[in-house]
Amino acid sequence: MAPPSPPSPSEQPATMNQDQSFVAERLATIAGKLTPPGRFAAGGPAAGLPNPLLRVAGVGDYLGWPVPGAQVEAVIASGAATRAPYGLGEATVTDAAVRDSWRVPPSRLTWDNPAWDGALAGLVADAAIALGVAPHVGAVLHNLLLYRPGGHFAAHTDTEKVAGMFGTLVVTMPSVYAGGALTVRHGEEAETFEGPAARLEVPTTPHWAAYYADCEHEVTPLTAGHRVVLVYNLVRPPTGGDSAVAAADNEGVTLPSPPVRGHGGSTAVLARFAREWAGYVDFPTTPTALLYLLDHKYTADGVGWGSLKGKDALLAAALRATPAPGGSGGGGSGGAFHLHLVTVHVHQQLGVGVDPAKWGYESPPRGAAGKTRACASRWAPPRCGGAPTESVAGTAASPATTLPLQGARIWIPP
């Protein structure tokens, strides 16, 4: 399908109208049709996990399988467990109205079943596949969490607690309880994991749930019983080249391929898109670089080509694999697009009479000054050099034949 014809230069306004940017619409359409190899959250029964023979220091015998409520109360009464905190801005606080649970740190936990580690490694591998993540994913125990009746955790996102962390794995041990459902949200989608005993049955099988750390999630209040969960940080090893690629001028740098598959025929569509875009780049209202917001959120320490998630990794792989016009293949600086990861700072001026306290316990709304930091990719000309002129939110792209990013006409989504 041919792209819509842009107006002639004499008909175009002096400033670019976002509605006239067919290139932005075309890239958004292509990206919207990409299907990542996994989901933002996954879970289910973990029948392959054995009783770990878990012991809490200072409490005595192994935790039961299922864990009896009296034993949960004994752990809390012993002082081995403390109130679980949560992050509020730069601070760490406790407030039972927001998070009502108890935590036991890994330093007080031991497990004596030699089969546990191997079984857990198998579960982590399954979780990685379900999330669409490359192999070599590890799990670092964060806490044992205990929930009493009424226990809950309001909607929140997880912070990156260790280097390489990208997600969270929750293993719900068998125990008798009702309520306490875990709901994970990403955009307009949601997944709910009820756990092994949603109907006060006596369970014998643990359950698991894994999700990307930037996805909002909550635990609804327990209506009865006790919930016992092991929480692991999912981590990936660092990938080389991230810091170099983040530099303004990555001339000659070999970009690591995101560890995903499935972009398939999208490279042919993107190659045609690049040719069409290059044909219109001389029009003053046609952007020479596109800013495209990524699907997931990333921290400054947690972003890199090898750490992109879901559709972000798939789009990056497809753009990077797109051959330049007349070329035989993609692969970084010789392809149709030049890729940059940038950090986004969005600032918003509050009106008179707006009470910041009404933003809630978590953070100001998305876009509030100094609070929203997203990662973006710039797709800019492959041999341009020069530094980005601003720090903005999203992903940008431009055909290989256009101007350097410095001084480029950049389309920014509303």
Cα–Cα dist 29/315, whole Å: 12
Determine the 3-state secondary structure of 193 from DSSP. Answer: strand
- 170 residue type, one letter: V
Query: In which residue are the tokens 């894994």 written?
Result: 210
Report DSSP letters for 105-157, one per residue: -GGGEEE--TTHHHHHHHHHHHHHHHHT--S--EEEEEEEEEE-TT-EEEEE-
pLDDT score recorded for residue 298? 81
Sequence-ordered list of residues with C-beta below 8 angstroms from that of 6, at least 6 positions apart, any chain: 12, 20, 22, 280, 283, 285, 286
In 3D, which of 256, 370, 258, 246 has the Cα closest to residue 314? 258
- Residue 400 pLDDT greater than 70, yes or no: no
- Phi, psi dihedrals of residue 222, rounded to the nearest 5°: -70, 135
Domain locations along the chain: 17-37+260-348+365-411, 41-235
Burial of residue 368 (CB within 10 Å: 0-12, 13-18, 19+) is middle
pLDDT score recorded for residue 222? 95
Q: What percent of the chain has pLDDT over 90?
A: 38
Cα–Cα dist 196/59, whole Å: 25
Cα–Cα dist 10/196, whole Å: 67
In 3D, which of 75, 86, 216 has the Cα closest to residue 148? 75
In 3D, which of 286, 315, 265 has the Cα closest to residue 4? 286
Where does 41-235 sit in CATH, by number?
A: 2.60.120
Report DSSP letters for 45-90, one per residue: E-TTPPP--EEETTT-SPPPSSBPHHHHHHHHHHTS-EE--EEETT
- Phi, psi dihedrals of residue 349, rounded to the nearest 5°: -90, 125
pLDDT score recorded for residue 51? 96
In 3D, which of 164, 304, 166, 315 has the Cα closest to residue 242? 304
- 233 residue type, one letter: N
- 78 residue type, one letter: S
Work out the average pLDDT over 102-127.
Answer: 96
Note the pLDDT tens digit of each residue in 148-203.
999 999 999 888 888 888 999 999 999 999 999 999 999 899 999 986 555 456 68
Q: Binning pLDDT at 50, 70 and 90, where does residue 27 land?
A: confident
399 cis-preceded (ω within 30 degrees of 0): no
Global confidence as pTM: 0.73
Contact call for residues 58 and 82 (beta carbons, < 8 A): no
pLDDT score recorded for residue 347? 64
Give me 264's structure tokens. 């398939």
Contact call for residues 366 and 282 (beta carbons, < 8 A): no
Q: What percent of the chain has pLDDT over 70?
A: 66
Q: Binning pLDDT at 50, 70 and 90, where does residue 139 land?
A: very high
Note the pLDDT tens digit of each residue in 46-58.
999 999 999 999 9
